Amino acid sequence: MKKIVLILLAVVGLSSCSINDDETPNIEYELAEITANDLPDEFEMGKTYTVTVTYLLPSQCNTFAGIDARRAGNTGPERRQIFIAAVSRFVNSTECDAQTSGNSGTSTFTITVDENEDYTFYFWTGTNAADEPLYDEVTVPVVDIETTGTLKK
């Protein structure tokens, strides 16, 4: 009798779980154009900077999800090449105007300058006709302030 009850509970439990729940919104992630940044003209070696970026959401159906900042590599010049994109969330089930540009907003990321070479940032601005990414490229030189207070490039 106990085995029958356990089997019935297992069957009811498994049949109540549905993988195809039509009420669950279909969420997609899209990149949002970065329209501005406040990078300084130069970095000082050893300092940490908070950089503010302004983004434009693709449509009124999108909401901001976060900033994606990735280095091109782990060593050498690739470590100082940083790709920045704003990520947005698009919910297919919402009623909105997908043809109208979305809101703009701001977000931040931090960077610690630990190498004495130029840093190059690539801010995602969209794609071209061939669907290749377009970037606003900004190079920031690093200066080393000696104990005398003079700049050393």
36-59 confidence digits (pLDDT tens)? 999 999 999 999 999 999 999 999
Measured CA to CA, the distance from residue 126 to residue 132 in angstroms comes to 8
Residue scoring higher pLDDT (151 or 85)? 85
Please report the pLDDT score of residue 92 as a whole number.
Answer: 76
pLDDT of the residue at 148: 35
Domain range holding 137?
Answer: 24-152
Percent of the chain whose predicted confidence (pLDDT) is above 90: 63
Is the pLDDT score of 20 beyond 60? no
The CATH number assigned to the domain holding 146 equals 2.60.40.10
**What's this model's pTM, rounded to 2 decimal places?**
0.77
pLDDT digits (tens, 9 = 90+) for 78-106: 999 999 999 999 987 667 777 777 899 99
Query: Does 64 reside within a domain?
Result: yes
In a domain? residue 5: no
| Distances, alpha carbon 46 to alpha carbons 82, 101, 115, in Å | 17, 40, 8
Domains of the chain: total: 1
Domain membership of residue 71 (yes or no) is: yes
Q: Tell whether 37 is covered by a domain.
A: yes
Residue 114 has a pLDDT of 93
Q: Note whether residue 89 is domain-resident.
A: yes
Band (1; pLDDT cuts 50, 70, 90): low
pLDDT (0 to 100) of residue 85 = 98
Residue 2 located in a structural domain: no
- pLDDT digit string, tens, across residues 121-144: 999 999 999 999 999 999 999 998
Could you tell me if residue 94 is inside a domain?
Answer: yes
Q: 15 lies in a domain?
A: no
Residue 55 near residue 37, CB atoms below 8 Å: no
